[in-house]
Amino acid sequence: MIENQNNPVNPADSMRILSENIAKETQIISMLRAEISKVIVGQKYMMDRLLIALLADGHVLLEGVPGLAKTLAIKTLADAIDVDFNRIQFTPDLLPADVTGTLIYSQKSESFSVKKGPIFSNFILADEINRAPAKVQSALLEAMEERQITIGDTTFDLPKPFLVLATQNPIEQEGTYTLPEAQVDRFMLKVFLEYPNKEEERQIIRSNVRPGGIAKAGKVIATKDVERCRELVKKVYLDEKIEQYIVDIVFATRTPEKYGLESLAPLISVGCSPRASINLAIAAKAFAFLQGRAFVIPEDIRAIAPDVMRHRMGLTYEAEAENITEGDIVTKIVNKIEVP
């Protein structure tokens, strides 16, 4: 729509209208949370990150010890949304064609036909993704970045929304393959999961031993609701000062000495890529949306920065020897960089 120069839109009115629209749509998110909570006890941090990824059109890598409901949470999210869902169990003998699909030759017609793989779904659960070799993991790269798959000489678009939710076990190293850096960088968020507290664990026991077993989430929202929320997330206001704050945080991983963080220089071998800046901005908008706000504040950046940045930097042997993690470094950076 062409803006009337005699009657320019008042920024305050635009912000008010956007806030009202966000308030309406967050009711949908509340319905989604309520439905998921019927199945998943606690794990609010994990569910918030899954919702951020859903709203920001990004992929998530969940890492935690077995039994923390990683797989169940992802399946429950898919159950609560009217989408196609496929689970791919990654194993050492998996082939790329098992994920993407392949060409099948028909003797009757003397021609090849395309048999699409399980990747052609809205939600993909890549269970224990680090158990498959690099050749299979790289088969996901095109799907995750370009939202398309090439089989033979034909390229197919993937359905919308398209979300890869992957899990990996940090304590088992036998029979696993470290994810390539290019693969890890495609994930918007890498989320570490913690054990539930005592009260949550009691509720988990009750929900698993009651007659009828674990409840199952019903479908409460449709893909059109997700797309509508995503459009609003894009409109969430990101001030220039917040943009500069994001840039300073990311650049502090590359040249920490310029930000008074000389002690971090020997600990970081590779700084965060530009994808960190892009995803930090997008994820912060989604985080603000979940709080019912039409604008991003510095606290949004601080809250989401570890999940966006921890898998996009490399550590030196010195950092590993001192048991310093990527999360520790991100925390030091956001505590040091001046808040606008």
Model pLDDT for residues 270-311, shown as the tens digit of each residue: 899 899 999 999 999 999 999 999 999 999 999 999 999 998
pTM summary value? 0.85
Model pLDDT for residues 210-224, shown as the tens digit of each residue: 776 677 778 888 888
Structure tokens at 319: 């950092």
CA–CA dist 114, 101 (Å, integer): 7
DSSP 110: T
User: Per this entry, what is the length of the chain?
Assistant: 340
Angle at which helices 274-290 and 298-309 cross, to 10° = 130
Biggest CA–CA distance in the chain, Å, is: 71
Helix, strand and coil percent figures for the chain, each rounded to 5: 50, 15, 35
Q: Domains along the chain?
A: 11-225 (3.40.50.300), 236-336 (1.10.8.80)
Model pLDDT, residue 192: 85
Model pLDDT for residues 14-63, shown as the tens digit of each residue: 888 888 888 888 888 888 888 888 887 777 888 889 899 999 999 999 88
Model pLDDT for residues 188-213, shown as the tens digit of each residue: 999 888 777 788 788 878 777 777 66
Q: Whole-angstrom distance between the N-terminal and C-terminal Cα of the chain?
A: 34
- Single out the residue of 288, 222, 300 nearest to residue 22, CA to CA: 288
Structure tokens at 78: 């898919």
What mean pLDDT value characterizes the chain? 84
Flag whether pLDDT at 186 surpasses 80: yes
CA–CA dist 45, 12 (Å, integer): 33
What are the angstrom distances between the C-alpha of 173 and each of 150, 206, 262, 320? 32, 33, 34, 17
